[in-house]
């Protein structure tokens, strides 16, 4: 006999999904023994400094060195609305910790979309502009990774979590030179 628990999350209104026929009612009743509703991060600004400290500590165990966060960076991260919630915060911190040269995370270490004063609004912008924004961010991340690795495409690829072949393709695609 196996004793297992299933923990499931969603960002949708499951009751409405059942009414609309997009979620099975019988599955809902099997899973719905207990609900924990967690408000979005944008409504819990006071939690952000604690979450940042926690995740930087977690990352330090992997990398062997603790990163501190500049006050300007902390202010920016608290003001940001975090549409991707905690996952976006974690990924942004991880990228900043990787791109950081010393032990202090600065504004330059943050992903481009956090530094941008204008947020893309999916309702007002076309897919072409989204593609352009994604390409610009990807190119900048490649440039930053190559700087950090002193031009080593193999090390930069590892840093970004992509294959060397993928790195070579992107360097060629964006015309990035060392």
Determine the distance from the C-alpha atom of residue 14 to the mean position of all C-alpha atoms in its chain, rounded to a whole number.
25
The CATH label, of 3.40.50.150, 1.10.8.60, 3.10.580.10, 1.20.1270.10, for the domain at 41-118 is 1.10.8.60
Spans of all domains in the chain:
1-37, 41-118, 120-178
- The percent of residues in the chain predicted with pLDDT above 90, rounded, is 38
Q: What is the pTM of this model?
A: 0.58
Q: What would you report as the CA-atom Rg of the chain, rounded to the nearest whole angstrom?
A: 20
* Closest CA relative to residue 98, chosen from 155, 41, 178: 155
94-148 residue pLDDT tens: 988 888 888 899 988 888 778 764 344 444 445 556 777 788 888 888 988 898 8
Cβ count near 82 (within 10 Å): 20
Distance CA 25, CA 21 (A): 9
Calculate ∠ Cα 120-123-125, nearest 5°: 55
Provide the CATH topology of domain 120-178: Arc Repressor Mutant, subunit A (1.10.10)
Mean pLDDT of 57-61: 88
DSSP assignments along 148-168, one per residue: HTTT-HHHHHHHHT--HHHHH
C-beta of residue 101 within 8 angstroms of C-beta of residue 147: no
Token pair in block for residue 1: 């006999």
Cβ count near 173 (within 10 Å): 12
């Amino acid at each position: 006999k196996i004793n297992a628990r299933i923990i499931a999350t969603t960002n949708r209104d499951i009751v409405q999904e059942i009414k609309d026929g997009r979620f099975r009612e019988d599955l809902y009743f099997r899973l719905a023994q207990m609900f924990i509703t967690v408000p979005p991060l944008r409504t819990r600004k006071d939690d952000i400094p604690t979450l940042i400290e926690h995740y930087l500590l977690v990352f330090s165990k992997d990398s062997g060195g603790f990163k501190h966060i500049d006050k300007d960076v902390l202010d920016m991260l608290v003001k940001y609305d975090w549409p991707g919630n905690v996952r976006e915060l974690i990924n942004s911190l991880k990228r900043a910790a990787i791109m950081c040269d010393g032990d202090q995370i600065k504004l330059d270490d943050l992903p481009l979309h956090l530094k941008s004063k204008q947020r893309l609004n999916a309702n007002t912008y076309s897919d072409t502009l989204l593609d352009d924004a994604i390409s610009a961010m990807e190119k900048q991340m490649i440039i930053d990774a190559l700087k950090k690795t002193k031009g080593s495409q193999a090390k930069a690829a590892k840093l970004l979590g992509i294959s060397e072949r993928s790195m070579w393709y992107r360097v060629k695609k964006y015309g990035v030179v060392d």
